[in-house]
Amino acid sequence: MTQLPKTVFKNWLHEELSALVSVQRCRFGHGETAGSIIREPELVVQMWAGVIIHIHVIDEPIPVKKVRRIVETATEQGIPSLFILDVQLLPQQNQHIDPEKWFVPIQSLMDDHAYSYQVEPNRVSILPVQFRPVSRYEVKTVYGKPISIRALRHSRITIKQAALKGFWLLADLESDTIANAPPIRRTDYSAYQYNGPRAGFRDMPHWENRNQPRTDSSGPPAKSHLEVCYELLGVTRSANREEVKAAFRKLAFTVHPDVSALPKPEAEARFKSLTEAYAYIKLTQGWD
């Protein structure tokens, strides 16, 4: 029996996220439930740092008010949210559209771009997409290349877009920057501000250079993959080669499946995370 594209994507994303060094476990949620006031996530990710992230896979139009309710409820529970949209719901590359479309505000939740998923016969992929202003009344759809997920990051972000305005816990995907071609960049909307009967762009944020880390004056900056690896080993980034090696050996001995008191699957996952973190630090620092 042929699986629906959404099911195929959820299974693929579950495997991708479960393999990340910073992820302790990833489980399936219930997703959209008929009659439910609050939408349940399709995937629930638990990080080794203790943070839980909700991922929503959207395969039908969703009102912006409902998106706000999802983010607001999750933030109250201390849970960052991430949305990934079915590419079939979105315009084609370079297509001009009305900025009042339901999916346009969602990009304000993810560093001035959104994520879409695509299921092809021999490939499943995530594409960054941006709705970039071309005039006061039109935005252009721009897709980046498929991304390779390196890590999940999260932070508390101030959103200025009117429909989603607030101070929310949000998640994002960390990927290789070379994947975004055509480039997905932060947009300066100031040239498109105006006073008129339509919402237009007057409430959209004025972003800075996209290469700068995501920060907020009231919250800590998002952590890099390297910082997460150091944290997993319990050392600071100033630790030298021998200190990192000693920390890895000490932790690896306590969680190794042959000696750990943890359940074997959990011990194996923890040991794998430590090994990958140590390998990534060595590779980044140029240590043999």
In this predicted structure, what is the pLDDT of residue 209? Answer: 31
**pLDDT more than 70, % of the chain:** 80
Tens-digit pLDDT profile for residues 141-169: 999 889 999 888 888 888 888 889 899 99
Pull the structure tokens for residue 223.
Answer: 């952590």
The CA distance from 53 to 32, in Å, is 17
Of 10, 90, 4, 103, residue with least CA distance to 56: 10
pLDDT band at 207 (very low <50, low <70, confident <90, very high): very low
- The bridge status of strand 81-86 relative to strand 114-120 is parallel
Tens-digit pLDDT profile for residues 104-135: 999 999 878 899 999 998 999 999 999 988 88
Average pLDDT of the segment spanning 40-63: 91
More confident of the two residues 221 and 120: 120
Lowest average pLDDT, out of 93-107, 174-188, 211-225, 249-263, goes to: 211-225
The answer to whether 130 touches 137, Cβ cutoff 8 Å, is no
- The bridge status of strand 81-86 relative to strand 149-159 is unpaired
In this predicted structure, what is the pLDDT of residue 62? Answer: 93
Q: Report CA-CA distances (Å) from 283 to 140, 215, 226.
A: 40, 27, 10
Residue 171 has pLDDT above 90, yes or no: yes
Q: Which pTM value belongs to this model?
A: 0.66
Omega prior to 182 cis, within 30 of 0: yes
Q: How many CB atoms lie within 10 A of CB 44?
A: 17
